[in-house]
Amino acid sequence: MDILSSLALGFSVSLEPANLAYCFIGVLLGTVIGVLPGLGSAATIALLLPITYRIPPTSAVIMLAGIWYGSMYGGSTTSILLRVPGESASVMTCIDGFEMAKRGRAGAALGISAFGSFIAGTLGLLGLIFLAPPLAEFALDFGPPEYFALTLVGLTLVSFLGSGPWPRALAMAALGLLLGTVGLDPVRSQARFTFGTLSLQGGIEIIPMVMGLFGLSQAFTMIERRASVEEIAAMPKRLRELLPNRDEWRLAIGAILRGSLVGFLVGVLPGAGATISSYVAYAVEKRRSPHPERFGTGAIEGVAAPESANNAATASGFIPLLTLGLPANVVMALMLGAFMLHGVTPGPMLLVQKPDMFWGIVTSMFIGNLMLLVLNLPLIGVFARVAYMPSSYLVPVIVLACVIGAYGVNNNPVDILVMLGFGIFGYLAEKSGYSLAPLVLAFVLGPLMETSLRQSLILSQGSFGIFFERPITAALFALGAAVVIVPVLRLVLRWRAFGRFLKKVKM
Amino acid sequence: MRGVPHGEHIFGAALIAVGLFALYARTDLPLGTLREPGSGFFPGAVAVALILFAALALISRNSQTGRRRAEPRGIARISILSVLIATYASLLAAVGFVLCTVVLLLVTLRGLGMVGWLPAVLWAAGGSAGCYFLFTRLGMPLPGGLLAF
């Protein structure tokens, strides 16, 4: 099927009234939660996962995807107007966006942010459309060794490129893999870590787990420091000239295009995602500017580049999921969870077996981006006011969504206790500086990783050489080693210095 | 190790304990051979990895110096909410969704959120009744409990 007929098929799905409605709900919710500091897109998607049980899989993913890229739009609004990033990916936008707002150019900053997000989102989708089919076709030849290498290297990259120290991230990934082994062995169907209970034989349910880890733990954080949302600075009263002027466009257009490219490339990498892409795009723009001193004082490129990058990254983040079945970040892991809830396995076969679903999801993002542009420009003032919603009302909403969502999985109150357990664990982990993203990614990838490892060893008669003889696995391990080697060497050198220090002390 | 917050040590040590427990609980699962790995092969390897990385995290330098410690009042509020949710789960089937949710929302709004009595009561009653109506219409069988007749 050529690209044009694929797009026609996709639009025939995404333009169905129900899918349009789910897309609208998704982008609207995404914008609102993007505006709200504290409640991230991962938490919202986790809270909404149970609802997707009751709607068709394509509509569910269309809505969840809308939440994700919608949150990128929403995050910029409060960053510019209030210097409060609603999303971590909008932190860089605060720097120059708020300075522009102080100088009376809030409208131009918001306008360039919305237009830049739209252009970058569209370019990112074009990249997705042209890259995904050949990559999926290539992945059809993948066997168990390739999948094992992909999952192992993916988890390693997530741990090393993500936030926080890598030993902690790897420890959390290992814990996620361990939790993924609870239940029946995927190869021999032997019960593992079930302790004689029947309810654990199906494994740990992903919904109570992610609702606890991301939803309830967020509520705990909010009630712990109750004042944070009310501490927001006053919103400027007038928003003049939403359209940037010609000079501002001239300065911003290059930054938008470069930010889109950076965001697209970084967004594909496991663990990198929208946040890191916005940092890289800002740094690139500042480095290549003839007047880097303007950055931090209200340079429009400092708004255009990170905002474009985080939107392009949301589109390219779908490439590994839709073509290989591998989530590149925690939001994609939740998206994989949504697919799995409906018995759909994303990966190379998705494009072959369910082209309507694949292309429906992709084209819905075009529509969603357009909706966001139309929605955001006139309603910026309304969305900015959402940031004032006090946590006293937000916390009960999150708690109620968590208990109903967890209960609704099996209509069993025990799932509420499971959710509570993960909520406490998630809160303590975040408080101790342990990131939750590697844990969730490892949990969803664990069964695939184990099955492919065991199948590979059976194929090779117990030889690990199978992972190094095949070109794709060898290339993947080389990539993983390249990322790992510098931080590991740094740690070894630090220990050697510590050893020398101890020797000196003994003398 | 100076300057590392105490909670990080406890969390790292807890991860090691989980790894050790998994190794112990795995002993009744067959390891198999490399030619044909058994059910205990992967969990065993992962448990060892967990212990190693958690130990590495414990002894490597802390880079989270800016992390804010929880205040005693904050911990008290979290504990109250946790107990409240646990009680909610225990009583849900017997007492029913609406009554349990009214109490849950009322305590969260009034007790933890310091919302005034009138809005708290209105939100709690309206929220629980509205959710019951909405979700039962969507096909989710929420327990009626004491209010079921």
Query: With 70 as the cut, is the pLDDT of residue A234 above it?
Result: no
Chain A 140-199, CB below 8 Å of chain B: which residues? 164-165, 167-168, 170-171, 173-175, 177-178, 181, 185, 187-188, 190, 192-193, 195
Q: In this predicted structure, what is the pLDDT of residue A502?
A: 67
Query: With 60 as the cut, is the pLDDT of residue A123 above it?
Result: yes
Percent of chain B past pLDDT 90, that is, above it, reads 46
Q: What is the mean pLDDT of chain A?
A: 83
Q: In this predicted structure, what is the pLDDT of residue A13?
A: 93
Contact A349, A323 (CB under 8 A): no
Q: In this predicted structure, what is the pLDDT of residue A230?
A: 43
**Structural domain includes residue B50:** yes
pLDDT tens-digit profile of A321-375? 888 888 877 888 888 888 888 888 888 888 888 899 999 999 999 999 999 888 8
Residues B85, B142, single domain; the answer is yes
A145 vs A288: which has the higher pLDDT: A145
Residues B143, B87, single domain; the answer is yes
d(CA A284, CA A261): 11
Q: In this predicted structure, what is the pLDDT of residue B102?
A: 94
HSE-CB for A298 with a 13 A CA cutoff:
14
Chain B 75-134, CB below 8 Å of chain A: which residues? 75, 77-78, 81-82, 85-86, 88-90, 92-93, 101, 104-105, 108-109, 112-115, 123, 127, 131
Say if B28 is an interface residue toward chain A (CB within 8 Å).
no
pLDDT tens-digit profile of A264-320? 988 887 666 777 788 888 888 888 888 888 888 888 898 999 999 988 988 888 888
Sorted by where each begins, the domain ranges of chain A are 3-469
Query: With 60 as the cut, is the pLDDT of residue B122 above it?
Result: yes
Give the start-end residues of each E strand in A52-187: 183-184
The closest CB to that of B85, out of A175, A178, A403, belongs to A403
pLDDT tens-digit profile of A25-48? 999 988 887 777 656 677 778 777
Contact B99, A468 (CB under 8 A): no
pLDDT tens-digit profile of A77-118? 777 877 766 666 777 888 888 888 877 778 888 888 888 989
Residues B127, B89, single domain; the answer is yes
Contact B104, A249 (CB under 8 A): no
Residues of chain B neighbouring A173 (CB-CB closer than 8 A): 53
pLDDT tens-digit profile of A263-275? 898 888 766 677 7
Instruction: Give the residue on A whose Cα is nearest the Cα of B139.
Output: A54
Question: Coil, strand, or helix at residue A237?
Answer: coil
| Domains contained in chain B, number | 2
**Structural domain includes residue B43:** yes
Residues 6+ apart with CB under 8 A from A320: A154, A268, A270, A326, A327, A328, A332
Residues 6+ apart with CB under 8 A from A412: A199
d(CA A415, CA B92): 12
Say if B27 is an interface residue toward chain A (CB within 8 Å).
no
Query: With 60 as the cut, is the pLDDT of residue B88 above it?
Result: yes
A455 vs A77: which has the higher pLDDT: A455
Q: Which domain holds residue B126?
A: 72-147
Residues B76, B43, single domain; the answer is no
Residues B128, B103, single domain; the answer is yes
Whether A411 and B92 lie within 8 Å, measured CB to CB? no
Residues B140, B79, single domain; the answer is yes
Instruction: Give the residue on A whose Cα is nearest the Cα of B49.
Output: A174
Query: With 70 as the cut, is the pLDDT of residue A232 above it?
Result: no
Residues B54, B77, single domain; the answer is no
Residues B84, B50, single domain; the answer is no
pLDDT tens-digit profile of B1-30? 444 457 788 899 999 999 999 999 888 888
**Structural domain includes residue B64:** no
